[in-house]
């Protein structure tokens, strides 16, 4: 797994007791190759504690993308992966 660095304060913090996303922030991949002329892609990073009875987040994105054309989803976050522990 590639390391990431978060940027600034969180974009969102959920106040619920069992939230889908506890915290969402901006993050960039940490580059060990060269810092010169490095223009990283900025990602949204979700920190979640998912209840076992809930579907993984990727399943939600798969359902959305399966029922809509790409041009309808312009601006929607693209799911890149997760780590479950």
| Alpha carbon distances (Å) from 84 to 65, 66, 81 | 22, 24, 10
pLDDT band at 18 (very low <50, low <70, confident <90, very high): low
Q: Is the pTM of this model over 0.75?
A: no
pLDDT class of 24 with cuts at 50, 70, 90: confident
pLDDT at 55: 81
Q: H or E segment at 57?
A: helix 57-66
What pLDDT is stored for residue 33 in this prediction?
66
73 close to 64: Cβ distance less than 8 angstroms: yes
Give pLDDT tens digits for 27-63: 988 776 656 666 778 888 887 777 778 788 788 888 8
């Amino acid at each position: 797994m590639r390391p990431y660095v978060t940027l600034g304060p969180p974009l969102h913090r959920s106040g619920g007791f069992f939230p889908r996303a506890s915290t969402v922030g901006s993050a960039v991949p940490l580059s060990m190759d060269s810092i010169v002329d490095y223009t990283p892609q900025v990602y949204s990073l979700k920190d979640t504690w998912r209840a076992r009875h809930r579907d993984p987040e990727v399943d939600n994105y798969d359902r959305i993308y399966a029922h809509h054309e790409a041009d309808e989803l312009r601006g929607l976050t693209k799911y890149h992966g997760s780590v479950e522990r």
